Amino acid sequence: MQSTTAAELLAQIRVHGAVPRHVAIIMDGNGRWARERRMPRPFGHRSGMRAVREVVEGAVEVGLDVLSLFAFSQENWQRPTTEIDALMALLQEYIARESDELHARGVRVRALGALDRLAPAAAAAVQRVVARTAENDRLTFNLFISYSGRAEVVRAARLLAEDAAAGRIDPAAIDESTFAARLYTDGCPDPDLLIRTSGEQRVSNFLLWQMAYSELFLSPVLWPDFTRGDLYAAIRDYQLRERRFGRVSA
């Protein structure tokens, strides 16, 4: 049986409407992809850069408002120094290579996480692409770097506590919206769809608050092999679901 092409999936998506506003992706499988080819892990990370371009272009083409990619977690700082150095070098290379294209496509890049932990050269590269694309409005591209979902929640609680202690907010007035305003994602809609690649079945400390009602799509594809067709397949699957948010269907 012939598989459906990316163009055919895109046509189906456009016919059926209901495109998610925000798709988040846990990019997983670079290490296994490299191991299958008897190559070092950084080879897999480098190959994964192609998949990043694929999904960004696909997100623009299908009409997403927001695309979020989990690039580097706070837990990843525990990896060997050689791998961390390779990842930071790849981050700088990706920005240098893709910045012009992202800007030309109207993509606004946001870097979210504990960015103060980045090496100066990597931090400077991130700041450059964020500043250059700040006025674009076709797609918001959230790149989560040095990020932890639990740490983000703790940070938001601390900011609220500081505001309450300083008399800037009444503790009794704190609700979900005031809490969400202290998260890195303030101003972005919560993810409608979370995709995890490589067949793993974990959320890995990603967007713990924001994913309260996200639809989950677990793809067996290792990240370096992930294409816009795989993105479209996940979105088409999303379109076939009924989202009730705790309510009962009529």
Amino acid at 188: C
- Residue 171 has, within 13 A of its CA and on its CB side, a CA count of 7
Residues identified as active-site: 28, 76
What backbone torsions phi and psi does residue 73 show, to the nearest 5 degrees?
-95, 165
Q: Report the distance separating Cα 75 and Cα 181, nearest Å.
A: 25
| C-alpha 119 chain-centroid distance | 21
Q: Which long-range contacts (CB under 8 A, 24 or more apart) does 42-48 make?
A: 42/82, 42/83, 42/86, 42/87, 42/90, 44/224, 45/86, 45/87, 45/90, 46/90, 47/224, 48/223, 48/224
Q: Cβ atoms within 10 A of the Cβ of 10, count?
A: 20
Q: Report the distance separating Cα 153 and Cα 158, nearest Å.
A: 9
Tokens read off for 141:
């591209």
